Amino acid sequence: MEFEAVIGLEVHAQLKTKTKIFCSCPTSFGAPPNTQTCPVCLGMPGVLPVLNKKVVEYAMLMGIATNCTISKHSRFARKNYFYPDLPKGYQISQYELPICEHGYIDIEANGSKKRIGITRIHMEEDAGKLIHDQIRPFSMVDFNRTGVPLIEIVSEPDIRSSEEAGAYLRKIRSILRYLDICDGNMEEGSFRCDANVSIRPVSSVPFGTRTELKNLNSFKNVEKAISYEIERQKDIVFDGEDVVQETRLWDPEKHNTISMRGKEDAHDYRYFPDPDLLPLAIDDNWLEKLKKNLPELPDLKKERFIAQYGLPEYDADVLTGAVELADYFEACTKEYKNPKQVSNWMMGSLLGLLNAEGKNIDESPVSPSNFAELLKLIDQNIISGKIAKAVFEEMAKTGKPPEEIVKEKNLVQVTDEVLIEDIVVKLISSCPKEASEYKAGKTKVLGFFVGKIMKETKGKANPEIVNRILKEKLLAD
C-alpha cells in the first residue's frame, strides 16, 4: 500500500513592535536578563494589561496579506498552564474568537503550484526563557521575553511533503518581512515553527494520528525532521502498530525525533475569556485603510517583474524572495536599462558574494548605483565581462566605484585592433604546430590561442575582437 503524508504547520512570528503587547517594556533582543520587565509582564497581582494597538494592526496586516477574513469581534483568552517561564500561570492568547480566519497562500514546490489553507491567525504573548546551567544543578529564568507580542499562524493540514512545508514556511516568512512586521530570524527565535505530521493510505479520507514536532530552528531542520518523521511513521504502520499522538523533539545532531510528552488535550488549558481585557472590536475605517495601504506582496511583485522587465519566472522568483532584493534590483534598473543583465549579475556575483559572507542585501558593500555603473562599463566596451568580475570583487572589498578601480588598476579593455593584430600574428608564428592543427579542422585549439593572448594582455583584450582576428589570421594563406 502507498502512503502519503499529511502536514499542518503552526508558525509563531514575533512582531516588530517597539514595546510589549500589554505593557510598555521594550522588546529588543539581547538585553541583560530581566532588565526589560515591569509588574505587568512579571504577572504581579493587581496589575492590568493594556493592549498595544500596533499588535492588532500587525495581526490584521498578516490576515489581509494571507486572504483571511478579519473578525469584526475577537477576544483574548487565558490559556492556563504552569511553567517556570510563565509568571502569571496563564498565557494571554486568543481561542474561540481569533482575529483572522479562513485564509490561504499559494506556494510552489517540486515544480507545481498549490494553495495552502490558513485556518487562523491569533495574537498572543510570548513566555520567558529558561537558561539551564550546564554544570550546576539549577536553571535560571529571563523574563525579558514575557509579553513580547506574537502571532500564531495555523495552517490547514494541506501540506503533503517536506518540500511543500519548506515552500510554505519560506512564503510565510517572506510575507511577514514584506509587511515589515517580523524580522523572520529563525536562529534568534523570532520565527518559529511546529510541524504536525501524520500519514494515511493515498486517497483514503480520514487522517491518521499526528505527532507534533518541536525544536525546528532552521528551514533545513524543518524539512529534515518532517522527512524523518514520515519514514518513522511508515515503519510503525508497516510493522502493524499504531502511531501514538505525542509531541516529539527534533535532535539536529542525531537527525532523529524523540518523544517529549504525550499529547496534552486542548481542554487541559481551561481556556476562558480574559476578564481584564475588553472584547476587541475592529473599526471598518481602520481595516479599509490598512487594506488600501498594503505594500506590494511577493506574488504580485513577481508577476510585475515578469511583465514589466521581461524576466524569466525563475529570475523573478529569486529577486522577489526578499523585498530588499527586489528594491536593489529596481534601483539598478533605474540607472541601467538592461534588466536581464542586472538579474544575471545579481544572481551570479552579488548573491554569491553575500551568501559567502553571510550578509543580507541591505548590508551589500556594493551600492545599486555602483553596480549599475559596472554593467554600463561592460556595455561601453571599457572592460570585458571577465575583468568586470574582478572589478566587482574589488568593489566588494573596498566599496569604491568601478571607474576608480578600473583607472587605478589600469584595467581598461584593449580594443585597439592594430595592437591585437600584432599580438595575434606574433603568437601564430611562434606556435606553428597548433596553427596547422586549427587549419586541419581542430577548432578546439582556438581556446589555446585565446588563453595565450588573454595571458599576455592580462585579460584586458576585448574577447570579440581577439576571436575575430584570430580566426582571420589562422585561416589566412
154 near Zn ion, judged by CB under 5 A: no
Cell 555603473, located at residue:
373
Q: Which residues bind Mg ion (CB under 5 A)?
A: 10
Q: How far apart are CA 219 and CA 191, in angstroms?
A: 11
Q: How far apart are CA 154 and CA 29, in angstroms?
A: 25
**Least distance from ligand ADP to the Cβ atom of residue 8, Å:** 2
Residue of the chain from 210, 214, 301, 302 that contacts ligand ADP (CB under 6 A)? 210
Residue of the chain from 83, 207, 238, 272 that contacts ligand ADP (CB under 6 A)? 207
25 near Zn ion, judged by CB under 5 A: yes
Contact 118, 105 (CB under 8 A): yes
**Least distance from ligand ADP to the Cβ atom of residue 392, Å:** 45
Instruction: Compare residues 128 and 157 and give the one whose CB is closer to ligand ADP.
Output: 157
Instruction: Compare residues 11 and 405 and give the one whose CB is closer to ligand ADP.
Output: 11
156 near ligand ADP, judged by CB under 6 A: yes
Contact 72, 99 (CB under 8 A): no
Residues 6+ apart with CB under 8 A from 437: 445
Instruction: Compare residues 96 and 283 and give the one whose CB is closer to ligand ADP.
Output: 96
Instruction: Compare residues 6 and 65 and give the one whose CB is closer to ligand ADP.
Output: 6
Q: How far apart are CA 300 and CA 201, in angstroms?
A: 37
Report the residue count for the chain.
477
Instruction: Compare residues 57 and 156 and give the one whose CB is closer to ligand ADP.
Output: 156
Considering only 31-39, 133-141, 271-279, 393-401, which stretch makes contact with Zn ion by CB under 5 A? 31-39
Q: How far apart are CA 469 and CA 471, in angstroms?
A: 6
Residue of the chain from 36, 91, 93, 196 that contacts ligand ADP (CB under 6 A)? 196
Contact 197, 214 (CB under 8 A): no
Q: Using a CB cutoff of 8 Å and minimum separation of 24, what contacts does 34-41 make?
A: 34/142, 34/143, 34/144, 35/144, 36/144, 37/143, 37/144, 37/146, 40/147, 41/125, 41/143, 41/146, 41/147
**Least distance from Zn ion to the Cβ atom of residue 40, Å:** 5
Residue of the chain from 41, 290, 319, 424 that contacts Zn ion (CB under 5 A)? 41
**Cβ neighbour number for residue 169 with a 10 Å cutoff:** 24
**In this structure, what C-alpha cell is assigned to residue 65?**
496579506
Looking at the chain, the number of H-run helices and the number of E-run strands are 16, 16
Give how many residues touch ligand ADP by CB under 6 A: 16
299 binds, among ligand ADP, Zn ion, Mg ion, none (CB under 5 to 8 A by kind): none
The closest residue (CB) to Mg ion is 10
The closest residue (CB) to ligand ADP is 8
**Least distance from Mg ion to the Cβ atom of residue 188, Å:** 22
Extract the runs of DSSP E, i.e. beta strands, from 126-255: 129-132, 139-142, 149-155, 191-201, 211-216, 246-251
**Binding pattern for the stretch 252-281 against ligand ADP, x by CB under 6 A and - elsewhere:** --------------x---------------
Considering only 205-213, 224-232, 303-311, 364-372, which stretch makes contact with ligand ADP by CB under 6 A? 205-213
**Closest by Cα among 177, 75, 173 to 123:** 75
Instruction: Compare residues 41 and 165 and give the one whose CB is closer to Zn ion.
Output: 41
Sign of the C-alpha dihedral, residues 256, 192, 70, 24? positive
Instruction: Compare residues 157 and 459 and give the one whose CB is closer to Mg ion.
Output: 157
Query: Does residue 43 come out as left (phi exceeding 0), alpha (psi in the -120 to 50 range) or beta?
Result: left
342 binds, among Mg ion, ligand ADP, Zn ion, none (CB under 5 to 8 A by kind): none
157 near ligand ADP, judged by CB under 6 A: yes
Q: How far apart are CA 420 and CA 469, in angstroms?
A: 8
**Least distance from ligand ADP to the Cβ atom of residue 77, Å:** 13
Considering only 8-16, 24-32, 418-426, 433-441, which stretch makes contact with Zn ion by CB under 5 A? 24-32
10 near ligand ADP, judged by CB under 6 A: yes
**Least distance from ligand ADP to the Cβ atom of residue 187, Å:** 23
- For residue 280, what are the β-bridge partners? 74
**Least distance from Mg ion to the Cβ atom of residue 194, Å:** 5
**Closest by Cα among 287, 272, 251, 335 to 92:** 272
Sign of the C-alpha dihedral, residues 222, 182, 210, 197? negative
**Least distance from ligand ADP to the Cβ atom of residue 155, Å:** 5
Positions in the binding site for Zn ion (CB under 5 A): 23, 25, 38, 40-41
Positions in the binding site for ligand ADP (CB under 6 A): 6-10, 154-157, 196-198, 207, 210, 212, 266
